[in-house]
Amino acid sequence: MDVRMREVPGQVVVTEQRMVDQEALERWLPEAMARVHKTAGDTAAGTAEQPYLLRGHAADEPVFIVIYEGNPNEGETAIECCTPLRADAAAPDGAATRTIPAHREAYVRVQKRTVQSGGLGDVYGEIGKWIGDQGLQVAAAPRETYWTDFHAAAADDEVFDVAFPVG
């Protein structure tokens, strides 16, 4: 598994939070992504505004960050779905926003096949092991950063990053 490091600048995000288990997450998340993106409107930052997410072959795409305060497979946990705003944009009126502070992340690019085969849990475990092996510590909740349409992607396509902020 190819664990990489990157610097992530501070970001203002439009956010929606919910307590969900895995079954509820699967229903809620696509709807939450649509709502936060619609709320952000033309202030939403796509991959073009976030060069650390660019993939050479891909066009500018919407970005969603899903932060997990626990494992929804083990029961209800706090989940946050966000879409970043462009750095120069004012937050839309009435939007729930917050700032995700600048941080360093250990991350892995995930193929759709990994998710379909039930291997996503192994990705989290491997990143955690790698962080410990490097003498680093997890600094905040893990997250998945989506930058393509998961459902339209082919099995071998990279569909999101699993990342842990580290210190």
Residue 113 has pLDDT above 80, yes or no: yes
The confidence band for 128, taking pLDDT boundaries of 50, 70 and 90, is very high
What pLDDT score was predicted for residue 1? 87
Query: What are residue 80's DSSP bridge partners?
Result: 17, 67
What pLDDT score was predicted for residue 148? 84
Q: Is-contact 102 10, C-beta < 8 A?
A: yes
Residue 137 has pLDDT above 80, yes or no: yes
What pLDDT score was predicted for residue 136? 98
Q: Is the dihedral of CA 145, 149, 154, 157 positive or negative?
A: negative
Residue 58 has pLDDT above 90, yes or no: no
* Model pTM score: 0.92
46-55, 89-98, 122-131: lowest mean pLDDT where? Answer: 46-55
Residue 60 has pLDDT above 90, yes or no: no
The confidence band for 149, taking pLDDT boundaries of 50, 70 and 90, is confident
Residue 52 has pLDDT above 90, yes or no: no
Residue 150 has pLDDT above 90, yes or no: no
Stretch 88-108: mean pLDDT:
96
